[in-house]
Chains A and B, each alone.
Chain A
Amino acid sequence: MSAVLTAKDFATSQDVRWCPGCGDYAILKAVTKTLADVGARPESTAFISGIGCASRFPYYVETYGFHTIHGRAPAVATGIKLANPEIDVWVVTGDGDSLSIGGNHLMHALRRNVGLKILLCNNEIYGLTKGQYSPTSRTGTRSPSSPQGSIGMPVSPGLFALGSGARFFARAIDTDKAGLGDVLKEAYAFDGAALTEIFQNCIVYNEDVFADFTDRKTAADTQLRLKHGEPMLFGADNEKGIRFNPDNFSLEVIDAKVAADQVLRHDVANKVVANMLVELKSPVALGVIYKNAADSFEKSWYAARKNGLKRSSKVADVLRSTNTWVVS
């Protein structure tokens, strides 16, 4: 059982049925590679999903997998984690699944800090139902259900997560093999709810919606790759940096060559800065934005129970542990 497994060992016999060019292929590849890299055991791993394109994920991973109902994967996963905390539970979800119909469950999984690795494949659109605007679609998104453009503000997954009390929030781009892999490994190692927002390109209904910062040609200037303890630098020559402006309580881009001492160093445990980083539009912050470990829900749940879910008394005795009387 201790044989070293490769990414291929985590592939199932099923034909993958996403649209050609879908970002989900790259995510699947990164996940199976991560499983192999971290030495995950297939029999102790479960992928749980709701409904949507991304939620087909469990069929394609050679582990335990449960494709449940729309929005409810975090709730099913919580039950699994309480029943057997030894299982590595991954939740694969989309923006509609987790932030519209399932928003409540995501919020509570995060605030409870249930030990789930949650992959939020955000394509800012409803793909499986053929292209309606989603809760993360930008205002004005034209879609079959919003021919004049969507109205209302989109939800920010990062702010939602931090506001819900998430203790791990990271971001990556679907096709960024290295960046996504690094983040997934950190999520895997995190003992609690780890939410990773993956910018996922929907080639059919929302193509290139993230191109303004994912385009490799301009990536150096549009992406801020965060590393704990390191200065927040970007640009082809790391010539730009992020500074905290105390006058308006915001982050701003400065010339790092001129004012190197003012560039912030990334501290993953700083929630105030994390809240500002997730709102940064240019550059877009990537990597582990916030990480601040605390006891997981299941750990606290079991700590409060002397024998876990094992029986330490007999029903026959408990039935009599009250006032009884004998009729003879």
Chain B
Amino acid sequence: MSDFASMDSIVVRLAGDSGDGVQLMGSQFIASTALSGKDFATFPDYPAEIRAPVGTTYGVSAYQMNIGADPITTAGDTPDVLVAFNPAALKVSLPLVEDGALLIINSDSFTARNLAKAGYAQDPRETGELDSYQFVPVDIGHLNLEAVKPFGLSKSDGGRCKNFWALGLLMWMFDRDLTPIEDWIRRKFAKNEVVEDANMAALHAGHAFGETAELAEAIPRFNVSKAQHAAGVYRGITGAEALSLGLAAAGELADRPVLFCSYPITPASPLLHRLSRLGELGVGTFQAEDEIAAICAAIGASYAGVIGVTSSSGPGIALKTEAMGLAVNAELPLVIVNAQRGGPSTGLPTKTEQSDLYQAIYGRNADTPIPVIAAKSAGDCFFAAIEAVRIALRHMTPVVLLSDGYLSNAAEPWLIPDIGALEPIECNAPPAPDESREAEGMAFERNSETLGRPWIAPGMPGLMHRLGGIEKDISSGHISYDPENHQRMTNMRAAKVESVAKFIPDQKIEVGPDEGELLVVAWGSTYGPTYQAVQEIRRSRRDVSYVHLRHLMPFPSNLGEMLGRFNQLLVPEMNMGQLSTVLRDKLGVDPTPLCKVTGQPFLISELVEKIRSMLPPVMVVADESAGKGKAQ
């Protein structure tokens, strides 16, 4: 048996055809990683096609995971281990992998035909181009078929078990207990005993291969340090799961049901799927006929006294904007979740981007301000969802909650929060009926602090009133075309959104001193790589600070003053500089944007390089005890 290489963290990338079961293999490996007490972050990277032509580079589906003891906040820049199921997967992944990495390759798939499909003129195993790696060819296809032979499956059905075979090998390499995966196979295939048995056999065969094969000495084994997590009960969670559970928790905190109305769109659909299974938490779902119907039904739900939520991605949000204006004008609560993806138009449906910030803040006809917040990590989606509902109910306004394709699908270990410790969500209570007054006026008697109006719903006696998208008188609630009134109403709508800032905490510095040379300002899912990059720079004893924004409209009241205490501002974004523009617009600062729109998250190294380039060239004596990084 080979010795274990001890590592603080390790990045593993699985890559294969869309139909190879790579995503399943990755998520099962991560489930076992979680139970073994390691920190992790994942990045499922898959094509827009459900089943692209077999063997092609554009059909490659990958699952990258970073596992270890350090606080892990990204799926890792460069894989230490690559498992490639076919030549196309190798071809696509190799540029990401650095010299010395371990390549496990399914050699059965390296046929002349597959090599040609991947665009290899020559077999890369023979050209020497893999010499700089630890290269381990394994006949995964063939060995798997041998393992599942007793179950009488067809060659193609039997071949589908190969992800479990490879998973078995990976589990052996990482010295993991197979029990949780065995349990999962039993549950998943309970209705199909042959498939259950075959997958189980494949899993065990892959594991035994590591144990017994002569080749085994060439396969390294890894002992990854455990994470130093705070005490508590943990689970694994994806952004979509966390956001769904957060919406349900918000319903519980507000003691109101939630009606989630949506139309399928990548990468927002997982929310609809998750929430459809949370009926026991007072959550209803409605798959509408289109994006517009989805938001309109959510508005109808809010009008009827239930927390209305809709979700989509950029193109779908564009269709919803007229209805967002209605919710603003009608002063109804609503949460609009945008799982952002690459654009414009259909763009890159399965790839991530942060390019809908302008759309969220400015993207409506007329002066139609809406509060905007963003989640920063998979687990944070839970708290962001609660915050969105809290603002919506407190101010009686729609709220945009920005997530993205990366957050939706990424998984991480998550300390299960104490729901009892969360502050209940207050609703604007309806007034008592008063026969001496018109209900219209009572329906629009706004709270002087929040400018939220009472949440009155059909079914409440004595409070019948008429509501609509037409401008209404600021106090009587009747239709009004009065010029002065429209000015007052427009001012009121702006003041309402500004008033959100009075209720949110002051912006805190995430890392570093509260004044100095350079402040990195980020929002959304760039949190993971930005946090790591700033930490790396700081380990090299250079001063850089970092703030991460939850609230994008309005900004926390102290943000302008905070930004003013730094000589330079750097804003890394997966767009062409949208937050930079908004900061310039709202706070009059002049940040330096760092833009990336490749559909891929930032690498830590890209951020480190940029931060270094902005710091003054001071010679610092490297102190090994301060950390891994070295100063320039």
Interface residues of A (CB under 8 A from B): 1, 12-14, 42-46, 48, 58-59, 62-69, 72, 75-84, 86-87, 104-105, 107-108, 301, 305-307, 309-316, 318-320, 322-328
B303 and A67 contacting across the interface, CB-CB below 8 Å: no
The 8 closest A-B pairs by CB, nearest first: A79-B300, A67-B468, A79-B297, A75-B296, A309-B257, A83-B304, A75-B293, A311-B282
CB of B125, distance to nearest CB on chain A (Å):
39
**A49: nearest chain-B partner, CB-CB:** B468
Q: A309-B257, A309-B282, A326-B233 are in contact. Are A78 and B297 (CB under 8 A)?
A: yes
**A105: nearest chain-B partner, CB-CB:** B293
Is residue B194 contacting chain A, with contact meaning CB distance below 8 A?
A: no
Q: How many angstroms from the CA of A305 to the CA of B459 in the assembled complex?
A: 22
CB of A40, distance to nearest CB on chain B (Å):
12
Complex contacts, B330 vs chain A, CB 8 Å? 66
A83 and B306 contacting across the interface, CB-CB below 8 Å: yes
Complex contacts, A65 vs chain B, CB 8 Å? 464-468
Is residue B510 contacting chain A, with contact meaning CB distance below 8 A?
A: no
Show 25 residue pairs from A and B whose CB-CB distance is below 8 angstroms, ordered by the A residue: A14-B466, A14-B478, A42-B464, A43-B458, A43-B461, A43-B463, A43-B464, A44-B459, A48-B300, A64-B458, A65-B465, A68-B296, A79-B296, A80-B300, A80-B458, A84-B457, A84-B459, A301-B286, A309-B284, A311-B252, A313-B280, A315-B249, A318-B248, A323-B34, A323-B35
Which chain B residues numbered 231 to 261 have a C-beta less than 8 Å away from chain A?
231-236, 245, 248-249, 251-252, 257, 259, 261
B300 and A78 contacting across the interface, CB-CB below 8 Å: yes
**B258: nearest chain-A partner, CB-CB:** A309
Interface residues of B (CB under 8 A from A): 31, 34-35, 37, 180, 227, 229-236, 245, 248-249, 251-252, 257, 259, 261, 278-284, 286, 288-290, 292-294, 296-306, 308, 322-323, 325-326, 330, 416-420, 438, 457-470, 478-479
Q: A75-B288, A310-B282 are in contact. Are A69 and B322 (CB under 8 A)?
A: yes
A72 and B292 contacting across the interface, CB-CB below 8 Å: yes
Of B231, B281, B292, the residue contacting A318 (CB under 8 A) is B281
Q: How many angstroms from the CA of A318 to the CA of B277 in the assembled complex?
A: 11
Q: How many angstroms from the CA of A307 to the CA of B281 in the assembled complex?
A: 10
A314 and B284 contacting across the interface, CB-CB below 8 Å: no
Complex contacts, A68 vs chain B, CB 8 Å? 296, 299, 326, 468-469
CB of A43, distance to nearest CB on chain B (Å):
4
Complex contacts, A46 vs chain B, CB 8 Å? 458
A108 and B289 contacting across the interface, CB-CB below 8 Å: yes
Complex contacts, A108 vs chain B, CB 8 Å? 288-289, 293
CB of A308, distance to nearest CB on chain B (Å):
8
Complex contacts, A58 vs chain B, CB 8 Å? 466, 468
7 further A-B contacts with Cβ under 8 Å, apart from A66-B303, A68-B326, are A69-B326, A76-B296, A79-B298, A79-B302, A83-B308, A319-B417, A323-B31
A325 and B257 contacting across the interface, CB-CB below 8 Å: no
B234 and A325 contacting across the interface, CB-CB below 8 Å: yes
A314 and B419 contacting across the interface, CB-CB below 8 Å: yes
Of B232, B419, B466, the residue contacting A315 (CB under 8 A) is B419
**B325: nearest chain-A partner, CB-CB:** A69
Q: A72-B292, A79-B300, A104-B290 are in contact. Are A327 and B252 (CB under 8 A)?
A: no
CB of B299, distance to nearest CB on chain A (Å):
6
Q: A75-B300, A78-B300 are in contact. Are A324 and B323 (CB under 8 A)?
A: no
CB of A275, distance to nearest CB on chain B (Å):
23
**B299: nearest chain-A partner, CB-CB:** A76
A80 and B301 contacting across the interface, CB-CB below 8 Å: yes
CB of A8, distance to nearest CB on chain B (Å):
15
Q: How many angstroms from the CA of A65 to the CA of B470 in the assembled complex?
A: 13
Q: A58-B466, A309-B282 are in contact. Are A69 and B461 (CB under 8 A)?
A: no
CB of A148, distance to nearest CB on chain B (Å):
32
Q: How many angstroms from the CA of A104 to the CA of B302 in the assembled complex?
A: 22
B235 and A104 contacting across the interface, CB-CB below 8 Å: no
Complex contacts, A323 vs chain B, CB 8 Å? 31, 34-35, 180, 235-236
**B256: nearest chain-A partner, CB-CB:** A309
**B413: nearest chain-A partner, CB-CB:** A325
**A58: nearest chain-B partner, CB-CB:** B466
CB of B297, distance to nearest CB on chain A (Å):
3
CB of B298, distance to nearest CB on chain A (Å):
6
Max count, chain A CB within 10 A of own CB: residue among B31, B303, B469:
B303
Complex contacts, B323 vs chain A, CB 8 Å? 69, 72
Complex contacts, A309 vs chain B, CB 8 Å? 257, 259, 282-284, 306
**A302: nearest chain-B partner, CB-CB:** B284
Q: How many angstroms from the CA of A302 to the CA of B153 in the assembled complex?
A: 42
Q: How many angstroms from the CA of A14 to the CA of B463 in the assembled complex?
A: 16
CB of A62, distance to nearest CB on chain B (Å):
6
A44 and B458 contacting across the interface, CB-CB below 8 Å: yes
B301 and A83 contacting across the interface, CB-CB below 8 Å: yes
Complex contacts, A59 vs chain B, CB 8 Å? 466, 468, 479
Complex contacts, A69 vs chain B, CB 8 Å? 296, 322-323, 325-326, 469
B37 and A79 contacting across the interface, CB-CB below 8 Å: no
Q: A65-B467, A311-B282, A327-B229 are in contact. Are A79 and B303 (CB under 8 A)?
A: yes
Complex contacts, B259 vs chain A, CB 8 Å? 79, 82-83, 309
Q: How many angstroms from the CA of A316 to the CA of B416 in the assembled complex?
A: 8
A324 and B234 contacting across the interface, CB-CB below 8 Å: yes
CB of B188, distance to nearest CB on chain A (Å):
14
Q: How many angstroms from the CA of A122 to the CA of B286 in the assembled complex?
A: 30
Complex contacts, A314 vs chain B, CB 8 Å? 252, 419
B467 and A77 contacting across the interface, CB-CB below 8 Å: no
Complex contacts, B325 vs chain A, CB 8 Å? 69
CB of A302, distance to nearest CB on chain B (Å):
9
CB of A61, distance to nearest CB on chain B (Å):
8
Q: How many angstroms from the CA of A326 to the CA of B413 in the assembled complex?
A: 11
Q: How many angstroms from the CA of A326 to the CA of B36 in the assembled complex?
A: 10
Q: How many angstroms from the CA of A305 to the CA of B281 in the assembled complex?
A: 11
Complex contacts, A312 vs chain B, CB 8 Å? 280
A79 and B308 contacting across the interface, CB-CB below 8 Å: yes
**A316: nearest chain-B partner, CB-CB:** B419
A83 and B470 contacting across the interface, CB-CB below 8 Å: no
Complex contacts, B234 vs chain A, CB 8 Å? 324-327
CB of A185, distance to nearest CB on chain B (Å):
21
Q: How many angstroms from the CA of A221 to the CA of B480 in the assembled complex?
A: 47
B416 and A324 contacting across the interface, CB-CB below 8 Å: yes
Q: How many angstroms from the CA of A1 to the CA of B252 in the assembled complex?
A: 32
A319 and B416 contacting across the interface, CB-CB below 8 Å: yes
Complex contacts, B467 vs chain A, CB 8 Å? 65-67
CB of B160, distance to nearest CB on chain A (Å):
25
Complex contacts, A305 vs chain B, CB 8 Å? 279, 284
Max count, chain A CB within 10 A of own CB: residue among B37, B245, B259, B296:
B296
Of B251, B283, B458, B478, the residue contacting A84 (CB under 8 A) is B458
Q: A66-B468, A69-B326 are in contact. Are A79 and B284 (CB under 8 A)?
A: no
**B414: nearest chain-A partner, CB-CB:** A319
Complex contacts, B306 vs chain A, CB 8 Å? 83-84, 309
Complex contacts, A87 vs chain B, CB 8 Å? 304, 458-459
CB of A222, distance to nearest CB on chain B (Å):
37
Q: How many angstroms from the CA of A78 to the CA of B301 in the assembled complex?
A: 8
Max count, chain A CB within 10 A of own CB: residue among B420, B438, B469:
B469
Q: A72-B292, A104-B293, A309-B282 are in contact. Are A83 and B34 (CB under 8 A)?
A: no
Q: How many angstroms from the CA of A245 to the CA of B284 in the assembled complex?
A: 50
Q: How many angstroms from the CA of A59 to the CA of B473 in the assembled complex?
A: 14
**A1: nearest chain-B partner, CB-CB:** B461
Q: How many angstroms from the CA of A13 to the CA of B477 in the assembled complex?
A: 13
Of B298, B302, B308, B438, the residue contacting A13 (CB under 8 A) is B438
A64 and B286 contacting across the interface, CB-CB below 8 Å: no
CB of B35, distance to nearest CB on chain A (Å):
5
CB of A317, distance to nearest CB on chain B (Å):
9
B235 and A83 contacting across the interface, CB-CB below 8 Å: no
CB of B256, distance to nearest CB on chain A (Å):
9
Q: How many angstroms from the CA of A118 to the CA of B505 in the assembled complex?
A: 47
**A326: nearest chain-B partner, CB-CB:** B233
